[in-house]
């Protein structure tokens, strides 16, 4: 007996395991301190990394969608 193949929604296995880019953050607070300083400027800079950006708020992962698509 073999398990059924996972549902990939037409994506390649490499695309399913790849992580979105992430800007450098504080080792403890992650990107939370960036929101205190220049919120709009940081969002604009992070949008240059790609359509989805991975952030860390304290110890929780968060994803920022920078494109309507």
Task: State the pTM of this model.
Answer: 0.67
pLDDT for the residue numbered 8? 56
Closest to 30 in 3D by CA, of 66, 3, 54, 50? 54
How far CA 54 is from CA of 10, 13, 17, 38, 44, in Å, comes to: 22, 19, 14, 18, 14
pLDDT tens digits for range 3-32:
666 665 565 666 666 889 999 999 999 999
Residue 40 phi, psi (nearest 5): -65, -40
pLDDT for the residue numbered 11? 58
The Cα 33–Cα 6 span in angstroms is: 38
Task: Check: CB of residue 36 under 8 Å from CB of residue 66.
Answer: no
The mean per-residue pLDDT over the stretch 49-56 comes to: 93
């Amino acid at each position: 007996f073999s398990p059924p193949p996972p549902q990939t929604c037409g994506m390649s296995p490499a695309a399913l395991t790849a992580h979105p880019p992430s800007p450098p953050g504080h080792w403890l607070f992650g990107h939370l301190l960036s929101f205190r300083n220049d919120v709009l400027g940081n969002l604009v800079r992070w949008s240059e990394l790609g359509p989805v950006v991975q952030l860390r708020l304290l110890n929780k992962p968060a994803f920022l969608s920078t494109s309507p698509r």
